[in-house]
Structure 1
C-alpha cells in the first residue's frame, strides 16, 4: 500500500510540474510626461482565472525590470503600478518557453476620470518614499491567522521565538493601528491579538516621533514602526476572545479581550490571570501557550516586563493578574486623543543558586550563595496622548503619564567564601523584609510650528517628572569570619527610606533652510535639571527596650543631589532622494552637586565641560538596497553612589566607598547597517556592526584581605571597548503551488574588554563570542509545517595578567517546531528544544524541553478546545555560565515544571457584517 501511495504521489507531482509554464518578462518603465525612468514601480503577474498572484518584482533606478517565474496556468495578466500614476495591465498567454520583452512602457499621471473597467487587484508591494507598504490579500496565511502570523510571511520581516520583530535586521519598536497607538504601542498585544482578516495594508517606516513626522525630519534609523490599516468595511463593530484553562499541579489561566471599533473611535479592554509565568495576553491560542508574548525579561526583584512594559512578578514561579483599557478617538478635525490604563499584579517565589570562582593576582577563592525570595507587586499606570493640530503648520502634543506601585517582599540569603584549598574563611547569612509605595508623574509638551514652504520650523519641548517613593525595611544578618582572628557580627536593623526626584528638561530647535527643502542649519539648546532627595534613617534593635530605637549613623543618609546639564548645539542637515547626511556638535556643561545634611564635610560640587559630536549618512542605492552609518561622541557622568565619598557598609563583606575625583566617561560610538532585498529572487541580506570605545571608563578598585572581606571604590581607566554586530541571509524557495521552503543563515558577534583593579593590580578581560544560527522552514499550505533551527555559541575570555585562567565556553541549542492540521479541525503543535552547556559545573549540562498542544475547533470555528503539555520530559532548566574580569559564575534558579492543561477559548467578530465586500484571495 505504501509503495502504491508513493508511486501515485510521484506521478501526481510529475503531472503538476509537466503542466507548469516558465516565463521571463522584461521591460523599462518611464513617465509619459517627462520621459524619465520610474524607480520602485511594482510589477506583478496574476492568474487570469482567479487573480491569485504568481510573482512580483520592483523596477530599478533606471526603470528596468526582469520578472521570472513559473505558472501552472497558461493565461496570466501583467500589472504595473506606481503611486500617482495610472496602472498598466496586459493579458499574456504563456507557452513552454515564454520570454517576452515589453520594451519601454510609459505610465500616465493618475487620471480623475473613472474608467469603465475597474481593476480589482492590488500590487502586493508599494514603495512610497521611505515607506514600504504590503497588500495583505497577497500573502497567504492560515484561516485564523493573527498579525504575527502575517508578519512572518512578509519579505524582509523576521519574527523570532520570543516575538521580537525585525525588518532587514532593524528592530520594530512601535506598532500602530490606523496611525494610532494600540495599548500604548506595546507590539506584543497588537500582533498577538488582532486578526489578519481585518487588516488591509501593512506599512513599514523608520520610527519617528509625532513632531518629526509632522516636520518631515529623519526618524530613528535603527528602529522601525509598523502601521496596520484596517479595512474600511471592517472598521466598525465588535470583536474579541475569551479563554480559560485548568491543569495539573494547580496550574490555571484565564483571559479576555473585547474590542469596539467605530471608524476613528476605538475602545478595548483586557483582563487575565494565571500562574504559569505568562503575562496573560496569549488568550489560550496554540502558538502562544508557553510564556505569553513579546520580549520577556524576568528579574530577581519581583518584576518582569514585555517589550519594556512592567507587569510585575519575577523569576521563579509567578502568579499574575492584569487588566487594562485603551481608548482612541478623533473628537474633531485636528484633535486626536489616546488613553491607556493598565493594572498588573503578581506574586512570585524563587530560589537561585550561584557558584563563583574568583581569581586574584596572588591566589584564588570561591563563593557559593543561595537566595530564596517571595514578592508581591501591584502596579497601576495611566497615560494619555493629545494631538492638537491647529492647522497644517502648527501641532501641539501633550502626553501625561501616571504610575502607582506598591510592593512587599522578603528574602533569605546564605553566602560562604572558601580559599583555594576549599577551607571556609567567612560566611554571611541574612534575612530581609521590605514594603514600599512609589508614585510617578511625567508630562511632555511638544509644540511644533512650520515656517514657510522651504522646510523651516521651530520646535519647543518641555518635560517634567516627579517621583516619590517610601520604603520600610527590616534587615537581620550575621557575618562570621574564621581563621587566625575569628569574629562574629550580628545586625538587626530597621530602615525608613524616602527617595524623591524632581526633573525638568527643555529643548528648543530652530531650523533655517540654506537650500530650500535640501540643506538646513539647525540650532538647538537643551537644559536638564534632576534633583534627587534621599533620606534614610536606620535604627538598631535595642534588646532592653525591645524596639528599633538606636540610630545608626553609618547606615543612614540625608542628602540632596543635583544633576544639571546645559547643551547649546548646531547641526547641518542635507537630504536628497538618495542621500541623507547630518553633522552636529554641541558644548556640554554639566554640574553635579551633592548637599549632605548628615555629613556636611562630604558635600561636593563638580563641574564638567565636554564636546558632543554626531555625524551620520544614509545612501539608498536603489529600491532594493541601502546603507546607514552613524558616529557619536558623548559623555556620561558618574552616578551618585560612585562619586559620593560615603562609606556604604550595608553588606559587611563588601564595603563600598565613592570617589569624588572621578571624571565623566567619554563614549565613542559608531554604527553601520547595510541591507538588500531582491524582490524577484525572494532573497534578503543584511548586516550591522556597532561599537563603543571608552575614555575614563569607571571601574571598580577592590582590596581583599586575608579573610576575603572586600573594600571597594571606583577609578577611571582607558582602553575599554564593546563591539557587537550580526548579519543574515535568507531565501524563499517555492517548491510548487502549495509547498515552500524558507532558508536562513546568520550570526551574531561580540567583542568587549573590561577592567578592574584587585589588590592594586589592574586586570583586563577580553571576551569575544560568535553565535551562528541556521534555520529552515518547510510550509505545506493548510496541511503542515516544520521549522528547525540550530544555534551554537562560542565564547572566549582572555586575561591580561592571569593568562592561565583563560576560558572557552560553548553552548548548543536545537529547536524544532511542527504543526499539522489534518484532519481540518484538529491542530497539533510541538515545540522541542535541546540545550547543551558542556562547560557548566555543578548544574545540569544538557536538557530537553518539549511542549505539545492539541486543539480542536468547534462552534463553526468560533470555539477551540485545547490540551497542552508543558515540559513533557520534565527537564526544564536555566543553568548558565558567564565570565567577568575577575570571576567565573555558574548559576540557575527556579523554573516552571511539567504540567498538563485543558483549555477552551471562544472568539467573536461582528466587523464588516453590513454590506460585505467580495474578498479576492490573492495568494502566493
Structure 2
C-alpha cells in the first residue's frame, strides 16, 4: 500500500510540473440565425497576422479554437443562405478562455431556393455526457419521450418504464438542467411529447458542488437531462385519456379502467406542469420509496435481503402532481414540485426457499395473500440566487411522507429430510408512517483570481418511522417459537447534519489544487416494545423482545486533490483520510459499544478525449458505509417466526474501493457507436450474514427450535466486477439498426453458515464463499421507416452459475435463460396503427418454472382536425400467461417465487391532445388555453 502512496505523490509532482505546457487560450461561441435556431456547418475563420485557421460549427452551432496565442485577431463567419459577418477582437494578453456567446447571422436577402441537410450528427461525446440529437431518432407525431429513448444505443427501457444507460440505472431526470418533479424519471419520459425535445443527455453527475468546482470524486449518479427546442419554448400542450374494459377470465370479470390528464404551460422561463392518473392496470405515475422497513411473512429471505418486483400483484393507482419553474427577476431562479399517490396492491405468491446447512438443509414452502395500501406525499423546492457574477447560493428544502397499511394471511411449512419441523398459519397487520424532513444549502464564491474558488455545502435532515405490527400465529404442527400473538410498536428517528468545504487554488496554466473537508453526524434513537397476549386477553410487555437502542455515527474526511487540464486530457489525483466513530448503547440491557475505524483512500480520475467522437475515462474512489439499525440492534426480532433476526452492536462500517473504466467511440462516417464500461468494487469489513440453523428440538432455548437465526458479522474478501458493452451499427440514416450487447458480472460473496447441537450451546461455523458469475449476450435488430413501420426483434441468452466453497451447502446452481421478443408498430392509411409486443422467456435449470408467452396488441385510429383525437382498442396478455417468476440465490439460501400479475384483459380508450407552440394556431377547437409563452427556461448553468 505504501508503494501506491509514493506513486501517487510522484504523479502529483509530475502533474504540477507539466502544468506549464499550455501555450494559448481557447476561443469559443455559438452561431445562431435571427430566429434563435442554431446554424449547423457554418464556416468560422480565425486570422491573426498572417496566420489563419478554419473550423465549422457542430450540430449545436458551437465552434472552438484552441491554443490561440495572439491577443488580437479577426473572425469571419459564413454559411450558405446567410450574410457573412466579420469581427475584430482585442482580448487580454493571457491564457484565459474567451467566450464569445451567441453570434447571430442574418438571412441573405437573395435566398437560394432551398438548402437541405441530408443528415445530422446523432451523437456527441463529452467528458461526463453522452448527448443524442432527438431529431435523428424519428418517432410518430405526439409520441412520448420514452419512444425516442427506446431507440438510443446503450439505453434500455423495461415494461415498467425503468431506465438503464450503459449498464447503470438512471435515477433522476432533469429538463434543461433542472430537476423535473423532483427528478422522478417516469414523469418526464412517459408524459413529455417527443416533438418538443432537442437533445437527450445521459450524464454522470457528481453533485452540485463538484459541478461548480470541477473536482469530481466519488461515485456519480446517472442522470437523464432533456433539453427543449427553442421554438417549442412558448406555448402549451395538453392530453387527456379515458378508457374502460374488463378481464377476459370468466371467473373474475373485474372491470378495468384508466383516466389520466397531462398539461404543460410554457412561457419563457416560466414552466407549469400538471399530471393526474387513476387506473387499476398496474400503471404508476410516480416512483416513491418504500413505506419503511418491515419484516416479511413466513418464508422468504430475512429482512433487508430484497423485495418483490413492483410488477407483481394487481395495483389500483391514484396519483396527482404539479411542477413549477420560473425566473424571479434577473437573480433568482426557482423550481419545485409536489407529488401524491394512493396505491392499493394485492399480491398472491408462493415461495420455495432452500436454506443451507452444514448437516441438514431445511426447505420452507410458503403461500401468501397480502394487500398493501400505500400513501405517499413528496414536496421539494429549489431556490438559486446569483447576486453577482462571483457568488452563487442554492437552497433546497424537502418534505416527504410514506404511509403503509398491510394485511397478510400466509401459511408456512418448514421441513427437514422430508420431516415437518413446523407448520403454521399467519394473520398479520402492519401500520407504518414515515415522515422525512430535510434541507440543503450550497454557497459558492469565485475570487477575482481566475480559478480560485471557495464553496460550502450544509445539509440537515430528520427521518422517523412509527410502526405497529400484529403477527398472530396458529401452529398446526411443531413447537411454537415466537409468541403466538404479538403487538410490536417500533419508533425510530434519525437526525443527521453534515457539511463539506472546498477551497481551490490555481497553481499554473490549467492546474489547480483543492483542499476539502467533509463532516457527517447521524444520531438514531429506537424504541421497540413487544407486548404479548396472555390467557386472560391481557397484553403484557415481553422484555426479551423489547429494546431501546440508540447509536451515533460520525465521520470526518480530509482530502487533498490536484487537477490538471489540457486540450485533450485532464486528470485529478488526490488522497483522503477518513476516521469514523460508531457509538451505541442499549437503554434496556445497558450494553454499550464504541467502534472506531480509520481509512486512507487515494482518488484518481483521468479523462482523455481522442476527439469529439472518442473518449476514455478512469475513476477510482473510496467511501465508507455505515451499518443499518436492523444490523446493529442486539435484541432478537421474532416478527417472522421462522427467520428471527438479531443485530450485532459491534459491527464496523464497510469501506468500499470503487474503480470504473469507460471507453466510448462514435464514427461520424459509418454511424457506428461503441460504449464499453468496466467496474470493480472491493469491500473491507463487508457486513455479511451468519445464518444459524437450530434443530427442531433445542433444549437450551426452545424459542429458537426449528428456526434459522440471522446475525451479522464483518468479513474481508468480498469483491465484485462488471463489464458490459454496446455496439450499434446503423444503415441508411438509421432506418436499419443492429445492436449487440454483452455483460459479465462476477461476485465473490462472503457468508457464514452455522449449526447448533440439540442439547448444548456448541456451535459449528464455517465461512462460505459463493462465487457467482452471470454472462449475458444479446442482439437486437430495429427497422424504422417513418410512417410505415417501427419494429424491433430481440434475443438474449444468459448463464447464471454459482459455486460454494462449502460443498455440503447444496446450493450450487447452474441456470440458463433465453429471452425472445418482437415489438413494433405498423402504420396504415396514414392514420391507422397496429401495435404488437410479444415476449417469450425460456428457463433452464429452475424448478417448477413456466415459460410464459406474453402478447399485447392494440389497434388505434387518429381522427378529428389535425389528428387531435385517438381511439384505441387494446388487448393485454392474450395467452393469459403473465405469472411472475423470480429466483435468487446467496451463500445461505436459494428462493423461487411465483406471484400473480395482471392477466388477460381488454381496454377501449380515447385520447384528446391539444397543443400550441411558437405562435402556431391551436391544433384543436378554438378558444381557451393560456396565451402564447411558457417553456423550460434556458440551458443548465455553465451550459454543456
TM class, shorter-chain normalised? 0.7 to 0.9
C-alpha contact 2:790 2:825 (8 A) present in aligned 1: yes
Number of the residue aligned with 1:425: 421
RMSD: 3.8
Q: Please name the residue that 1:749 is paired with.
A: 744
Offset at 1:121?
Answer: 7.0
Residue from 869, 875, 879 that aligns with 2:875: 869
Are positions 1:197 and 2:192 aligned together?
A: no
Shift of 1:371: 2.1
Q: Secondary structure at the match of 2:187?
A: helix
For the Cα contact (< 8 Å) 1:769–1:793, is it kept in 2?
A: yes
CA contact (8 A) 2:81 2:108 kept: no
TM-score by length of 2: 0.79
Structure-1 residue corresponding to 2:615: 626
The 8 Å contact of residues 60 and 622 in structure 1, kept in 2 or not, is answered as no
**Contact 2:240–2:912 at 8 Å: present in 1 too?**
yes
| 1:344-743 alignment, distance < 5 Å | 344-420=341-417, 422-478=418-474, 482=478, 490-516=483-509, 518-544=510-536, 546-548=537-539, 550-600=540-590, 602-707=591-696, 708-734=706-732, 740-743=735-738
Secondary structure of the 2:190 match is helix
Aligned to 2:260: 255
Aligned equivalent of 1:807: 813
- Is contact 2:721–2:746 with CA below 8 Å preserved after alignment? yes
Alpha-carbon separation, structure 2, partners of 1:157 and 1:757 = 38
Shift in Å, 1:697: 2.1
Measured after TM superposition, the shift of residue 139 of structure 1 is 5.3
Q: What is the CA–CA distance in structure 2 between the aligned matches of 1:394 and 1:89, rounded to whole Å? A: 42
Specify the SS of the correspondent of 2:147.
helix
Q: Structure 1: how far apart are the matches of 2:472 and 2:518? A: 46
Contact conserved, 1:613 with 1:634, CA < 8 A, in 2? no
SS in 1 for 2:526: strand
- Contact 2:145/2:193 (<8 A) preserved: yes
Gap runs ≥5 in structure 1:
1-25, 45-55, 63-82, 92-107, 282-293, 304-309, 918-924
In 2, Cα distance between equivalents of 1:481 and 1:37 = 88
Distance change (3 Å), C-alpha of 1:847 and 1:206: closer
Q: Aligned partners of 1:205, 1:894: CA distance in 2, in Å?
A: 37
Size of the alignment, in residue pairs? 814
- Determine the C-alpha separation between the residues in 2 that align with 1:158 and 1:680: 25
Q: CA deviation at 1:821?
A: 0.8
| Pairs within 5 Å for 1:766-785 | 766-785=771-790
1:12 aligned residue? none
Residues 57 and 445 from structure 1, CA distance in 2 versus in 1: closer, same or farther, beyond 3 angstroms? closer
- Structure 2: give runs of 5+ residues left out of the alignment: 1-40, 68-73, 83-99, 247-253, 297-306, 697-705, 755-764, 923-931, 933-944
Which is further off, 356-365 or 524-533?
Answer: 356-365
CA–CA distance in structure 2, aligned partners of residues 903 and 320 of structure 1: 17
SS at match of 1:197: helix
Q: 1:217 to 1:908 in 2, by over 3 A?
A: farther
Deviations 1:864-914 (A, max 9, x none): 111000100111122233222133322111111110011111011122335
Alpha-carbon displacement from aligned partner over 1:9-53 (angstroms, at most 9, x marks no partner):
xxxxxxxxxxxxxxxxx9x99754485776785499xxxxxxxxx
Alpha-carbon distance between aligned partners in 1 of 2:582 and 2:849, rounded to the nearest angstrom: 46
Q: Which moved more, 1:250-259 or 1:638-647?
A: 638-647
Residues 573 and 490 of structure 1, relative CA distance in 2, 3 Å threshold:
same
Give, in whole Å, the separation in 2 of the partners of 1:848 and 1:639.
41
1:338 is matched with which residue? 335
CA contact (8 A) 2:782 2:791 kept: yes
Q: Is the 8 Å Cα contact of residues 168 and 685 (structure 1) preserved in structure 2? A: no
Distance 1:652 1:190 in 2: 43
C-alpha change, 1:323 and 1:211, in structure 2 (3 Å) is: same
Q: Relative to 1, partners in 2 of residues 1:372 and 1:168: Cα closer, same or farther, differing over 3 Å?
A: closer
Q: Deviations over 1:446-475 (max 9, x none)?
A: 001111242111111111101233222222
Greater shift, 381-390 or 694-703, is seen at 694-703
Q: Which has the higher contact order (CA 8 A, sep 6+)?
A: 2
Q: Deviations over 1:676-697 (max 9, x none)?
A: 0112201011111111123332
Instruction: Indicate conservation of the 8 Å contact 2:240/2:261, yes or no.
Output: yes
Separation in 1, partners of 2:672, 2:713 = 50
Separation of aligned partners in 2, 1:543 and 1:855: 64
Which residue does the alignment assign to 1:75?
Answer: none
Distance in 2 (alpha carbons) for counterparts of 1:166 and 1:705: 42
In 1, the alpha carbon distance for the partners of 2:840 and 2:76 equals 53
What secondary structure does 1:642 align onto?
helix
CA deviation profile, 1:517-566 (whole Å, cap 9, x unmatched): x211111111111111111222222332x332x11111212122211111
Task: Provide the C-alpha distance between the structure 2 equivalents of 1:132 and 1:648, rounded to a whole number of angstroms.
Answer: 47
The corresponding residue for 1:149 is 147
Residue pair 1:40, 1:127 contacting (<8 A) in 2 also: no
Check if 1:796 corresponds to 2:785: no
Answer whether contact 1:864 1:906 (CA < 8 A) is retained. yes
Post-superposition shift, 1:205? 5.2
Q: 1:60 to 1:115 in 2, by over 3 A?
A: closer
CA contact 1:481–1:488 (8 Å) conserved in 2: no
Aligned to 1:189, the other structure's residue is in SS state helix
Q: Compared with structure 1, are the counterparts of its residues 584 and 478 closer, same or farther at alpha carbon in structure 2 (3 Å cutoff)? A: farther
- How far has the Cα of 1:116 moved from its partner? 3.4
Residues 805 and 168 from structure 1, CA distance in 2 versus in 1: closer, same or farther, beyond 3 angstroms?
Answer: closer
Q: Deviations over 1:392-430 (max 9, x none)?
A: 11000001001123321111232222122x121223432
Tell me the SS of whatever aligns to 1:890: strand
The worse-fitting range, judged by mean Cα deviation, of 637-646 and 776-785 is 637-646
Structure 1: distance between partners of 2:232 and 2:59:
28
